[in-house]
Amino acid sequence: MNALSQPNPARDVIASTQRKVAIICSHGGLDEVYPSLILANAARQSGIDAFVFFTFWGLDAITEGKVDHLHLNLVGQPSSGMPTMLAGLPGMESFAATMMKKQMAELELPTVREMMQILEEAGAELYACELAMKMFKREKKDLLPSVKDVITAGDFYDLAEGAQIIFT
């Protein structure tokens, strides 16, 4: 009998405990929203329970009138390779977002809206932050249908109990 086949109460408890991840999405740039969605999708594909908490500018990703118009934040982004002065010119964020969306389409990546549907169908739960909703004067009717509910930060902690928390 090897070590893996021997009874091990600690290992058996870990194996029987469902893993879960709680992802906080607080930014609304195209390049900032995708990591949250991709992590949540990878978690669900791995059988890990996942929920995403959208707060502050992250609400744009789940707001009906904004989800299809997310920009790419270039100013102050040293990895873009674009000088800040050029990145700040009018229309540059939209241009960069268009180019990124084109590249994502070539890679057959779903749009943000499609990712929300995929996550919902996969069993991930999407939540909006109540305080941020009040700050930005949004109502639940403004959100995508895939958003399960509007919750408080305290509710977030209740849901996140035992979860790995990722802030993107």
CATH code, domain carrying 25? 3.40.1260.10
Identify the pLDDT of residue 3.
43
> What is the C-alpha to C-alpha distance for residues 166 and 24, in angstroms, rounded to an integer?
6
Inside any domain, residue 54:
yes
Inside any domain, residue 82:
no
Q: Containing domain of residue 146, as a range?
A: 19-70+111-167
SS3 11: helix
Assess contact for 30 and 70: CB atoms under 8 A.
yes
Inside any domain, residue 50:
yes
Residues of the chain short of pLDDT 50, as ranges, are 1-5, 8, 10-16
Inside any domain, residue 83:
no
Number of neighbouring beta carbons within 10 Å of residue 146:
17
**Measured CA distances, 60 to 6, 49, 66, 68 (Å):** 51, 24, 5, 9
